[in-house]
Structure 1
Amino acid sequence: MSAAPVPRTARRQRLARIALVTAAVTVTAATAAACSTSAARTGHTDVSGGASGSGKKIQVVAAENFWGSIASQLGGSRTEVTSIITSPDTDPHDYEPTAGNARTVSGARYVIVNGIGYDAWADKLLATNPGSDRTELKVGDLVGVKPGGNPHRWYSPQDVHQVIERITADYKKIDPAGAAYFDQRKKAFETETLAPYNRLLSGIKSKYAGTPIGASESIVTPLAEGLGLKMRTPETFLNAMNEGSDPTAKDKTTIDRQIKNKQINVYVYNTQNSTPDVQAQVKEARAQGIPVATVTETLTPAGASFQQWQTAQLRGIERGLAKATGK
């Protein structure tokens, strides 16, 4: 079931809220070394208590659960992975870190954040507690996307595979004794676990490359590029929706024309950022007989794995393309 639509605020409002919590986070991080808890942690649980940092397992914290899911599956029994953002109802852009989050990060040996301005609150947590023995992975830096670029790298198949390679390499450096184990986990994950995901990617690309689509925001752009689909929605509109800004009248007119004249074959929208403008486009697309497919910002349902979530969305896009093209 899709999460209820969550309108997104402008980035300047997000940054203002982050600034308000920075002082509290700083105080918490300063005393975090003395705090611990014996509570058990699972791979995709949003932990509000402290991180133990003890034992032989690598304590891993991922800012978002899509990266946490991958990290957990690659790490297996030699890691304990905690994801901070786990609920489909939580917008990672707007998240305000808690004191518990600060303690969790302080006890981590390995931290994964998306970067590119997507989770600036996570940067604040890292900056207030620069652990000397902690390894940090910023996905944006890894894949070479600078601030201002499209932050939704988990929707880029190429970038996902880069992240898999780096996480495995980092695990092997942190835990050399487990190198062979991590190599085996990576091989199984890429060749077996992700097989349905990879088949869908290649199948859609080979069958529907060049097919024009429309979208509600820039979250769809990396996936469209990976599938070889032609994005017709103006980039300025996609970016405005991602930033929480008002789209221009010109862009809305362009999209209305594309839908009315059926210049797109499928419309894809993020159900977690469904504004009145987007809802109007979805309604019009359906009225014109244009198939509508959905994606979400984070794992949906909350307990899903990365591959379950992605393959379900890819199948929805594939069905829409098949219906629209007759292929």
Structure 2
Amino acid sequence: MNGSLKRAAGGLLAVGVAVALTAGCSTKSTAKPAAAAVPGGQAGSSTKIAVVAAENFWGSIALQLGGTHVAETSIITNPDTDPHSYEATPNDAKLIAGAQLFIQNGIGYDTSWAPKLVSANPASGRDVLTVGDVVGLKDGDNPHQWYSHDSVYKVIDAIVAEYKKLDPADASYFDTQKQSFENTTLATFNQLESEIKTQYAGTPIGASESIVSPLADTLGLKMLTPYSFLKDISEGNDPSVADKTTIDGQIKGKQIKVYVYNSQNSTPDIAAQVNEAKAAGIPVTTVTETLAPASATFQDWMVGELQGLKAALAQATGH
């Protein structure tokens, strides 16, 4: 089944899931308790904010910003899953129905299922944070904004604002968490981005899909792969012959210095390009769509990928 059909099926299943839940479907929830006592007898609220994230990269950030004052559950966690074609379950509907804060990506990424479950399971007191709204993007724009430095920091601001709204008694705690996360937790991540941009800005690269575009923009790398190809692969569509011919020429002519591909979405076309790049002596490095391993934190995952990209750039340029 191609990507478009998978997404259509996922959307239909999401509707069915919602109907099943509202009809009384009983499914055991894996959500953490929403009202656990705060360790250490800290001042402020004695309950935890129940947070559910559609994707675990936003969930990791939300959990670390919330600290001891939130209980977070992510829906998509399997690194072998393509979130574009995710099929929702009855338990997902229960999690969203019980959340005080639900974080969804939007921008056409999880819109085949997440908004449907939200609307089918209304809950008073639940806030919904849509990343696309936070960063000012809409369906059809590049949804992979967790690879954009600026977008990540906008989402951090938005999550903390939600926490302070839901738990105003602990506002100062969330401010402290935010400061620590940005200045200490993300220090190595920020340093690597700065180093790569300083040393390799303008270096031409190729990529398998549009997930790499926000990262290339952040790092100042020059993306030579036609965006129409990147978008087609990302959305599960067949790329044009003209785009594939262009990329073949870029690889064989060594116009690109490094090839970056999403190992969670490797089509026959991408596998062929990876092999061609390796045969041409072009360093190849990978990124993934969700945390890999699933137990990783956002920053450890990103640091690992940035280190791999930096090593590939160093190999390609000799410095």
Question: Per the shorter chain, which TM-score range?
Answer: over 0.9
Alpha-carbon shift at residue 49 of structure 1 (Å)? 4.4
2:68 paired residue among 71, 77, 80: 77
Which residue matches 1:22? 15
Do 2:3 and 2:84's aligned partners in 1 also have CA atoms closer than 8 Å?
no
Which residue matches 2:48? 57
Which residue matches 2:290? 298
Q: Does 1:199 align with 2:191?
A: yes
Distance 1:51 1:96, change over 3 A: farther
Q: Does 1:88 align with 2:79?
A: yes
2:256 paired residue among 264, 267, 273: 264
Q: Quote the Cα distance in structure 1 between the aligned partners of 2:60 and 2:83.
A: 16
Question: 5+ residue gaps in structure 1?
Answer: 1-7, 38-47
Question: 5+ residue gaps in structure 2?
Answer: 37-46
Q: Quote the Cα distance in structure 1 between the aligned partners of 2:4 and 2:170.
A: 41
Distance 1:30 1:165, change over 3 A: farther
Q: What is the RMSD of the two structures over their aligned residues, measured on CA atoms?
A: 1.7
Q: 1:264-319 CA deviation, whole Å, 9 max, x = no partner?
A: 00000000111111011111111111110100010001110000000100011101
Q: 1:239-266 CA deviation, whole Å, 9 max, x = no partner?
A: 1101111111111110010001100000
Which residue matches 2:93? 102
Distance 1:289 1:238, change over 3 A: same
Q: Does 1:190 align with 2:194?
A: no
Percent sequence identity is 57
Do 2:208 and 2:261's aligned partners in 1 also have CA atoms closer than 8 Å?
yes
- For normalisation by structure 2, the TM-score amounts to 0.93
Q: Quote the Cα distance in structure 1 between the aligned partners of 2:32 and 2:308.
A: 38
Which residue matches 2:214? 222
Aligned residues: 308
- For normalisation by structure 1, the TM-score amounts to 0.90
Alpha-carbon shift at residue 103 of structure 1 (Å)? 1.0
Do 1:51 and 1:105's aligned partners in 2 also have CA atoms closer than 8 Å?
no
The aligned runs of 1:41-56 (5 Å cut-off) are: 48-49=29-30, 53-55=34-36, 56=47
The aligned runs of 1:1-327 (5 Å cut-off) are: 9-29=2-22, 31=24, 48-49=29-30, 53-55=34-36, 56-120=47-111, 121-327=113-319
Q: Quote the Cα distance in structure 1 between the aligned partners of 2:17 and 2:151.
A: 34
Higher relative contact order (CA 8 A, sep 6+): 1
Q: Quote the Cα distance in structure 1 between the aligned partners of 2:298 and 2:96.
A: 22
Q: Segments of 4+ in structure 1 off by > 3 A? A: 29-32, 48-55
Q: Quote the Cα distance in structure 1 between the aligned partners of 2:65 and 2:288.
A: 23
**Bigger mean CA offset, 231-240 vs 51-60:** 51-60
